[in-house]
Every structure is written in C-alpha cells, then in structure tokens.
Amino acid sequence: MKASRSSLALPPTIARKRDGGALTDGEIRAVIEGAARGTIPDYQLAALLMAIVWRGLTNRELVTWTRAMVDSGERLEWSTLPGPTVDKHSTGGVGDKISLCLAPLCAAAGLYVPMMAGRALGHTGGTLDKLETIPGFRTALSPAEFRRVLTRAGFVLAGQSARLAPADRVLYALRDATATVESIPLIASSILSKKIAEGTAALVMDVKVGSGAFLPSRAQARALATALIDLGKRLGLRVRAVLSDMDQPLGAAIGNAVEVREAIEVLRGGGPADVRALTVRLGAEMLVLGGRAPDLRAGTRRIEAVIASGAGLERLRLGVRLQGGDVRAIDDPDRLPRARHVQVLAAPRDGVVTHVDAGALGRAATLLGVGRLRKEDRIAPGAAILLAAKAGTRVGRGDPLCTLHYDDGARARAAKPLVQGAFRIGSAAGRARPLVLETLG
C-alpha cells in the first residue's frame, strides 16, 4: 500500500506506545481518521494495536480513542422519540439467544431498543446469523431504514452500518486477524463507540463468565465490566453490567434457526427456565435504567406481564415484517431451516451430569457450521446441537445427552469427539452456579 502523509508519521507513534508512553490526543485522532479513510497501512495499524495490547491505554487516551471512533462516522439521535432509548450488549456465549426475545419485550414495555448486533466468529454465536434464518429478514439497514424500524416497532436488530463508527469496522477486523482482541481498553472502546453512535442513552452489559465466555475468568469479566462502566460515565452513557454464567450453554439449543425457535418459545410463555430467567432479569435492568420501572422487582413484573399478554411476540412479528422477514416463520417455526441429518449421542454410563462444557460445545457447533472459523466461512442455518441433559440431570446408560443436526458428515465426525468430551458424568450433582453472579454500576 502506498504510504500517505498520515502513515509516514505513524512509526514514532507506534514506538512510543511500544515503549510505554502515552499518545497525544492529536495522534489518536489522526490514527482513527486514517483507519476510517484507509490512508494508514494495515500493518502499521496492527503494530499499534499490538503495542496497545501490551501497554494499555490511560483513561485520557481511552476516552479520546473512543470519541474519535464515534466521530469517524455518523451519529444517530433520538430526542424526538416519545420514550427512552436503552440497549443491551452481550460479550458472547454459547446458546445465547437473549437479544431475540429481549428486544421486542422491552419495546412492548415502553423502551426503544436500537440494537446493532454482530455475527458469529469463533465459538460464540451471532445474532445476525440467527435472524437471517428467517426468510427475507434484512439485517443491513441504512440509517433511514434503521430509524423507520425503531420508530414503528420500538426496537431494531441490525448490523453495524458502514456509516456508523466506520473506524471500528476496520480495527475490529484487524484485531481478529492479528490476535489483538483480548485487550480490555480496545474491547470497551469498540463496544461503546458503536452504542454511542447508534444513539442509545443507556446500556445494560451482559458480561459472560465461564468456559464458553470470551473472558472465562470472573476477574477478567469484572475488569471489563468496570472499564465499560467507567468509560461510559466519562462519555455520558449510563452503563449497568450483569455478570452471568456461561460455564454451560444457555438453554437447550445451540445453533441459528434452533435458537430463533427457542426465543419464540420464550415469547410464547415457555422455553428453557434459564433463558427465560435471564431474559426477564436483563429486561428488568433495562426498564430500571430507562426509568420505566422504579426497581428490579417492578421491572420483573412488567416483563413477565408482557410475556403473558403476548405483546412481546406481537412486537417481534412487527419488527420481522418491517425488516422484510416472513412473519409466517414466527407463527410456524417449522418453516425455519433444518439440517438433513440427526445423530443422537448417548450417555456411556449411569450417573448424574456434573458439567457441560460450553466452550467445547461451542467449538463443536462451529465445526458443524453454526459459526465461523474465518470471516468468509458460510453458515449452515440448520446445523445445531440440541441438549437433552444439562448439569444436574440424572441419566442412565444409553439415555440421550444431545443430538447433532448437520448437513455434512465429515463435519459431524470432526465435532463428535468434542461433544462427547463436553459431558462429565459422576455419582452426584455438584453445587449449581447461580445464573447471575453479580451486578455492577
């Protein structure tokens, strides 16, 4: 790539950060502008990102970095809406379909939810890939379309627009390709720049903890939550963080179409207990943060009432229709894609399931085609792992532990050992971990 004036000035900036120095506000703004405009070579940006992974960013640097990311594109504004804007973001997990039922429930309860979601990469699922199993559903919306859907449905589930925080799109792709993802300042800036650009006034963060989480340890998750809350405060964004368990998958369905089905079950008043419980809890947190409930108890009652009335399901129908989706798939989920083959994996002996490794099942699901190892990989919309047993379930030899749903036999053979190794069977159940570990902010 031909060097530009901005790229010629970057090596001293990289060297200063590499050596532990702080970048000036001007340098940071030049880096972000160059990333958005494509005037800085990828190799120089990658080198700077690695230096930041090693040396970190000061509070001043992080605030300037995030503001510059927001300023690299358009910023949506919702002051004319008749209600508060509150979003939710998850750090990613296995079987995490909460956004699919949470957004329409909160919209029906009086919030506006401008949710920009992401795609699967690695072992964690992608909300956009799940939504796109609904025939016709469009996740690529212009700012005008984003506004129209949000105004009419009260929520929108869409991908990141090329005009909102465009520098983040460039830097995120580079971080993923250069092993520079695991930097708390860069993670926090990436998340909050998009949320501020989309115009939300408050954010509930679902920070996952456990084997299936992006940051497995509770200490790492708490550090990220604290960074997000502090950065949000400095930028005028109210942030509440919930640390939730991801040591075993959430719900019984791991996949794309199957997770849409499970979310619909929750909106119909059923679904797995853990999916429903976390949906209700995060919804209550959002209502409190948005001033639509005085406390969590009242927020919980409100979300449960919206489920019971069917208003959340009706909002989902409206949102799907406005984004071009076939609403018949919501009324009849059998219209959603299914894999051609099913294989049952059985318990090898009698006992109690003591642990189900979410990370191993997430990696196995990726091999089946649920997720991507590379950005260019194609998703298999019907591929799935459906759990028949979770931690605490008593099983007999030959009882089903789960079923694999797949189109490609070679993929299934590669995934099978990971799935078999994910289930531990003992003589007695261990102590159950709470679904919500703690809240901050």
The set of catalytic residues is 89, 168, 175, 190, 194
Q: Is the dihedral of CA 111, 240, 256, 398 positive or negative?
A: negative
Pairing of strands 351-356, 394-395: antiparallel
Question: How many Cα atoms sit within 13 Å of 165 on the Cβ side?
Answer: 24
Contacts of 315 (CB under 8 A, 6+ apart): 104, 105, 107, 108, 153, 154, 155
Contacts of 55 (CB under 8 A, 6+ apart): 17, 18, 19, 20
Distance between CA 132 and CA 136 in Å, rounded?
7
| Other Cβ atoms closer than 10 A to 351 | 18
- Helix (H), strand (E), coil (C) string for 175-238: HHHCCCCCCHHHHHHHHHHHHHHHCCCEEEEEEEECCCCCCCCHHHHHHHHHHHHHHHHHCCCE
What is the 3-state composition of the chain as percent helix, strand, coil, each rounded to the nearest 5?
A: 50, 15, 35
203 beta partners: 87, 239
Q: Give the residue among 248, 181, 194 at the shortest CA–CA distance from 220.
A: 181
Cβ atoms of 407 and 339 within 8 Å: the answer is yes
Through-space distance between the first and last CA atoms of the chain, rounded to whole angstroms: 44
| Other Cβ atoms closer than 10 A to 99 | 24
Longest dimension (CA), the chain: 69
What are the strands of the beta sheet with 341-346, ordered from one edge?
A: 253-255, 384-387, 400-406, 341-346
Cβ atoms of 186 and 52 within 8 Å: the answer is yes
Question: How many Cα atoms sit within 13 Å of 129 on the Cβ side?
Answer: 28
Q: Give the residue among 29, 102, 11 at the shortest CA–CA distance from 71.
A: 29
Distance between CA 291 and CA 299 in Å, rounded?
10
Contacts of 212 (CB under 8 A, 6+ apart): 93, 94, 123, 124, 246, 247, 248, 249, 357, 358, 359, 361, 362
